[in-house]
Amino acid sequence: MRQQQKQRRRTARLFGSLLLVAAAGVSAVGAAPSPGAGSAAATPLGQVVPAPASVVAGGPAYEITSKTRIRVERDSKEAQRVADYLAGVLRPSTGYRLPITGQGGHDGIRLELSGKAKDLGDEGYRLVSGRGSLTITAHKAAGLFHGVQTLRQQLPAEVEKGSRQTGPWLVAGGTIEDSPRYGYRGAMLDVSRHFFGVDKVKRYIDELALYKVNKLHLHLSDDQGWRIAVDSWPKLATYGGSTQVGGGQGGYFTKAQYKEIVRYAASRYLEVIPEIDMPGHTNAALASYAELNCDGVAPPLYTGTNVGFSSLCVNKDRTYDFVDDVIRELAAITPGKYLHIGGDEAHSTSHEDYVTFMDKVQPIVAKYGKTVIGWHQLTGATPAKGALAQYWGLDGTSAAEKAQVAAAAQKGTGIVMSPADRLYLDMKYNKDTPLGLAWAGYVEVQRSYDWNPGSYLPGVPASAVRGVEAPLWSETLSTSAQVEYMAFPRLPGVAELGWSPEATHDWDTYKVRLAAQAPRWDALGIGYYKSAQVPWPAG
């Protein structure tokens, strides 16, 4: 109820000040530029992705100059870290020193954490831009960081470049007040079908952060590869991780590398959610240890793309020793709340065995202080208290399967929306897309964006929807360039579904804001699919 009240307040503010297209286009563009700004016009206030909850445009623009300082409270280490990040973005392209100072002052860029900003929640922020100063205020550091992402998008795209650009660096005048619709705004990267090393994962994290995504779901195990070191079962990584789809060399994260990813994600205010898929999708584990198989015989490593043929031996005690060890070690190096146990496509496991397995495994997750997430097939068993079910069905999924998910939601299970024919970023855009798959159909940019997570599944209360997640499976993807081509331009739309109020949801205005992101992607070196549905800038 409290969240609903907050949403109503945000919606009321939105309708009272929704100038994202009309007034922002007039007030911000027409605002008097600061001295020395010449004739350049600032990006209209609020013309960013995701759309802010409230925008009141007007007054003079703020200009970043060689005299600009970034001001934080002297004793605020969290604000200092966000300031360091912001300076790291701005210094190469502006060429300015942009010193960070704890000295008080009313000028420059000010990053403020305030106990009086509780109404903004843990991730919300307020951005006030005017002549001489730009202030971002938040209750928590995550909010400051998200406010910085908005600031980045209000600046010219050249701000993303790694060499000095000409400017001017204007931010339109006015006030943005913003907080997210959902607390869960995720993206999944499958490192099992093809392995992506630490640097590639970090690059994806930076791209997610720009659009205020706050969960990185890492799919760490599957039939084709086991990607995380487990000390008590070392062959999982060294043997089970030695290949990938098509027979490449594979790879795995050491615990130190995994911790490095977790730390890096945390510096961008993303929580890492590790997934160990079971009882199916386990051939890499079964090949590594014969004792995990019911017949005691290890199958060969697998490099194809079929699914549903593997299963842990549900009736063996040794299976649960294995699960306990893996979850214990993974939980110990995962500071976040959640641990994903998969549960999808367990076609080689009987329903009775599946229920038995989940009844035994979910308490193990709780024993090590984590909350269960599973694919929506988990609702065919009894989801643990507080568990989340990740729905990946289609518009055409059977009514019975949807009803099963709805029944669990009505009993308190939270739902994360990831419908495959909307949010799977590995689905082809159209028949000519050179990468990806099409088993869920073609997913163009408008289809990915133009739906409402809160009312998508019949019988699922809006209050049960915790958010959205965009999975990216890697059967056909092995490079960062391929990942980016499939993620962009759909990923920003998913982020907007998770962040922005429902009242802002409009394809015709969104596609214009989306198109304006293209120069930024060019500056960042992100290759993207130039959908004919989006009015990209000429040239």
Q: What is the pLDDT of residue 129?
A: 98
Would you put residue 441 in left (φ > 0), alpha (ψ -120 to 50) or beta? left
Closest CA to 178 of 208, 142, 133, 215: 142
**Per-residue pLDDT, 8:** 41
Give the C-alpha distances (Å, rounded to integers) separating 248 from 194, 257, 480, 485. Answer: 8, 21, 16, 22
138 forms beta bridges with 113
- Residue-wise pLDDT for 442-463, tens only, equals 999 999 999 999 999 999 999 9
Which string of DSSP letters, residue by residue, matches 243-277? --GGG-----B-HHHHHHHHHHHHHTT-EEEEE--
What is the pLDDT at residue 382? 98
Q: What three-state secondary structure class fits 329?
A: helix
* HEC secondary structure over 398-446: CHHHHHHHHHHHHCCCEEEECCHHHHCCCECCCCCCCCCECCCCCCCHH
Query: What pLDDT score does 81 carry?
Result: 98
Share of the chain above pLDDT 70, in %: 93
Instruction: Please report where in the chains the tokens 């993207």 appear, as a residue.
Output: 528
For residue 539, the model assigns a pLDDT of: 72
3-class SS of residue 116: helix
Q: Which of 90, 142, 143 is nearest to 266 (CA)?
A: 142
Helices and strands (H, E) in the chain, number of each type: 17, 19
* HEC secondary structure over 155-166: CCHHHHCCCCCC
Q: Any idea how long the chain is?
A: 539
Sign of CA dihedral 530, 533, 537, 539: positive
Q: Considering 345, 401, 444, 484, which one is annotated as catalytic?
A: 345
Query: Global pTM?
Result: 0.93
Whether 90 contacts 151, CB under 8 Å: no
The yes-or-no answer on residue 352 being catalytic is no
> 308: pLDDT confidence band, cut at 50, 70 and 90?
very high
Task: Say whether 81 sits in a helix, a strand or coil.
Answer: helix
Task: Supply the DSSP symbol for 374.
Answer: E
pLDDT mean over 160-188: 98
Q: How confident is the model at residue 19 (pLDDT cuts 50, 70, 90)?
A: very low
